[in-house]
Amino acid sequence: MAGPKVIKSLERGLLVLQALQMQPDSSLQELHVFTNISKPSLLRILHTLARSGLVTRRLADGRYRIGATLSHAPSRREHRDRIAEAAAPILERLCERVSWPSDLMVPAGDHMEIRETTRARSPILLQQERIGLPVNWLHSAVGRAYLAYCPVKERQRIVDLLRSSKKPEDRLAREPARLSSILAEVRARGYGTRDPTHTGGYYGGPLHADGLFSIAVPLRDGQRVLGAINMLWLKTAFSIEAFAARHLGELQDTAKEIVSSVRSRTRR
């Protein structure tokens, strides 16, 4: 007697999930090579899996990954992915409204780490950044926004870690009075800005002038801070004050929406 029939579509969907488990953060081409499924069929499968939250696609580079709800990664990685997944559609809508792009950063030890960005979705051509890019705490707008609002014990732990660093951008950790004054200004304004000496570049890497300004706000979840988001623009377009007057409210509303989305996902 013949056994039950195999559901081919389900079989192919499981093959795609297996591919993503073996090779996280895959492109469509890589999945096509691994599974031997045609790209049109792959797109339909991925779209179906994404609707159920089993797969997500990054805005930054269009690569696919297992959704945080299925991830067996360490809890810290899962937590970062959950924030990025919640933030992606909200940041995309913000970019559609204002055109200027945004980055999402989360803590990663002695630096912050980019987990999502809408630079590739913006009609304004800016320097593209990769997921996982390290950004310094003390000179970046996102780092200052996070430190200004995170719990005192967490902030002290981060500053203590940076105090022994030999990197030039961490020197401010050994100037507690100046750092406290800077963070107080962030809280008074409601947003963080880059240090005037920070013109661009990766944490620990050479500075390079990217021609950008940015403002950043924290993702505040009660007493905790989950990360920070920014908005970037060309220095020639607006002063910091003029840009904040136009867009700070939208950026703050976006931060609240992301936190609300993270909370709802956590309860699932």
pLDDT in tens, 150-189: 999 999 999 999 999 999 899 999 999 999 999 999 999 9
**Encoded tokens for 7:** 């559901």
Looking at domain 76-267, which CATH architecture does it have? 2-Layer Sandwich (3.30)
- Domains in the chain: boundaries: 8-66, 76-267
Distances (CA, A) of 45 to 22, 31, 34, 63, 178: 18, 11, 15, 15, 54
Looking at domain 8-66, which CATH architecture does it have? Orthogonal Bundle (1.10)
Residue pair 201/207 in contact by the 8 Å Cβ criterion = yes
- How far apart CA 119 and CA 129 sit, in angstroms, is 8
Residues in the chain: 268
**Encoded tokens for 60:** 């930054």
pLDDT tens string 90-111: 999 999 999 999 999 999 999 9
pLDDT tens string 235-256: 999 999 999 999 999 999 999 9
Which pTM does this prediction carry?
0.77
Give the residue carrying structure tokens 């299925």: 70
CA dihedral for 28, 15, 132, 265, sign (positive or negative): positive
Mean residue pLDDT across the chain: 88
- How far apart CA 199 and CA 129 sit, in angstroms, is 15
Please report, for the chain, how many H helices and E strands are present, in that order: 8, 8
pLDDT tens string 118-146: 998 898 877 767 788 899 999 999 999 99
pLDDT tens string 9-55: 888 888 888 888 777 778 888 888 888 888 898 889 888 888 877 88
